[in-house]
Amino acid sequence: MIELKHLKFLLMAAAVCSATAVFAASIPGYPTRPIRLLLPFAPGGSADAIGRIISPKLSEAMGQQWVVDNRGGAAGNIAAETVARAAPDGHTVFLGLSTVVTANPALYKLSFSMEQDLQAVTMLTISQYILVLNPSVPADSVKELIALAKQKPRSLNYSSGGIGSPLHLAAELFQKRAGIEMVHVPYKSGGASAAAVLSGETQFGVSSIASSMQLVKAGRLKAIATTGLRRSQVAPDLPTLAESGFPGLEVSSWYGLLVPSGTFPSIVQRIRNEAIKAVQVPEVLQALAGQGLQVETSTPQEFAARIRSDTKTWAEIIKSAGIKAE
């Protein structure tokens, strides 16, 4: 005779299998209608560019239109929550930015969980930053900048695109690892932050390579390092932070696709496969490179692990630096 607990187990297993079969049967020929690709910001910028570059390829490959839906506001949380609360049927997808997914949980009181309510599909792009100085600063390397900052604590200012912005968090991580203290001056955007370093209002900043390299080449900004694991193809002569005395230190900004938790594995795999194909098309690669973005894809498991790691890192930095979102 089957023991009661074994009987319960068998009944539960049968129920799960039945529910899975019903769910699978309810989505024949996925996708069955247009797919909404929610972006965390208003039109303009990298997220918008990525969405509009890849959506035509995905539409063609999957036989249904991928509709770009810009849901700016609340530092990207509105778009993330919309996807988190959507039906897990593969027809609502989030193009998530690294700091929206991994830093916002420590910066904002959210009514949902980024980690539990969103399911990783694949990374799409990655971009590293560049450390820049006003040319008047008497430092030509990371080592010299650190020595100068330690010699005169809080005498150097650094700019960012706002409190809790990717550039702010990147600079704080660098400060923590370097054991220095500079004064943060937040601006309204990354462009305004770079302009402050350019004019001398601030002496140091972390900036995007795409927006700064022309100024570096013109001698109007001084670049001392990049923040990726490998040297940038755009600035191959610049050392990485790892090469500058900080092994293992990487600060990158990534974009990736996420869906509501509970989405059927075959749907996740279909989206991943088509997205990876889309970003490998030569014209797409070229268009993304024009935005300063390098293609980097992953398995769902690898992406989920990256999210967990980054979430832990930013939570520690935000807490230790006492960063409060505006």
pLDDT at 11 over 60: no
Q: What is the pLDDT of residues 27-52, one digit of tens each?
A: 568 999 999 999 999 998 899 999 99
Q: Side chain identity at 117, as an amino acid letter?
A: D
Specify the higher pLDDT residue, 196 or 209: 196
Please check whether the domain covering 128-226 is classified as CATH 3.40.190.10: yes
> Mean pLDDT, to the nearest integer, of 286-299?
93
For the chain, which residues make up each domain, given as ranges? 31-126+252-321, 128-226
Q: What is the pLDDT of residues 244-292, one digit of tens each?
A: 999 989 999 999 999 999 999 999 999 999 999 999 999 999 999 988 8
Q: Please provide the CATH number assigned to the domain covering 31-126+252-321.
A: 3.40.190.150
- The C-alpha atoms of residue 84 and residue 115 are separated, in whole angstroms, by 10
Query: Fold identical between 31-126+252-321 and 128-226?
Result: yes
Torsion of CA 40, 45, 49, 55, to 10 degrees: 10
Please count the other Cβ atoms lying within 10 Å of the Cβ belonging to residue 61: 15
Of 67, 48, 69, 47, the closest CA to residue 59 belongs to 67
pTM score of the predicted model: 0.87
